[in-house]
């Protein structure tokens, strides 16, 4: 018996109800969008907390690069609001394009 036979599509439950907006995005963009929505990205602040970085500085000079910082404060980057993230607006997508490989 081949145990790999267990990994059929039956293991993947169909989603119940409507997924949030943005589901048409490519996977990497979708992941970035949901990290931003959940405020759990690999920002400098988080990496510093995990001892994977010597400091939590943002390239813009801010001392603490949190998700809120890169969403709404960072001086060198596009910004977007929670509402943009929720609706997956053009602003949210511009933000995702900038950050998807960084967080």
Nearer to Zn ion, 37 or 98 (CB): 98
User: Does the protein bind Zn ion through residue 60 (CB under 5 A)?
Assistant: yes
For the chain, the first-to-last Cα distance in angstroms comes to: 42
Q: Which stretch binds Zn ion (CB under 5 A): 9-17, 38-46, 51-59, 87-95?
A: 51-59
Residue count at the site for Zn ion (CB under 5 A)? 4
Residue tagged 């039956």 (tokens): 10
In degrees rounded to 5, what are phi and psi of residue 61? 110, -15
Q: Which stretch binds Zn ion (CB under 5 A): 1-9, 29-37, 60-68, 82-90?
A: 60-68
Q: Which stretch binds Zn ion (CB under 5 A): 34-42, 44-52, 54-62, 90-98?
A: 54-62
Buried b (16+ CB within 10 A) or exposed e, 47-68: bbeeeebeebebeeebeebbbe
Interface with Zn ion by CB under 5 A: which residues?
A: 58, 60, 62, 74
């Amino acid at each position: 018996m081949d145990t790999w036979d267990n990994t059929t599509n039956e293991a993947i439950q169909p989603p119940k109800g409507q997924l949030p907006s943005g589901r048409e995005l490519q996977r990497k963009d979708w992941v970035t969008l949901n990290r931003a929505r959940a405020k759990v990205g690999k920002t400098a602040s988080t990496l510093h907390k995990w001892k994977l970085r010597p400091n939590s500085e943002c390239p813009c000079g801010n001392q603490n690069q949190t998700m809120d910082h890169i969403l709404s404060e960072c001086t060198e980057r596009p910004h977007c609001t929670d509402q943009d993230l929720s609706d997956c607006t053009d602003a949210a997508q511009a933000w995702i394009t900038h950050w998807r490989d960084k967080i």
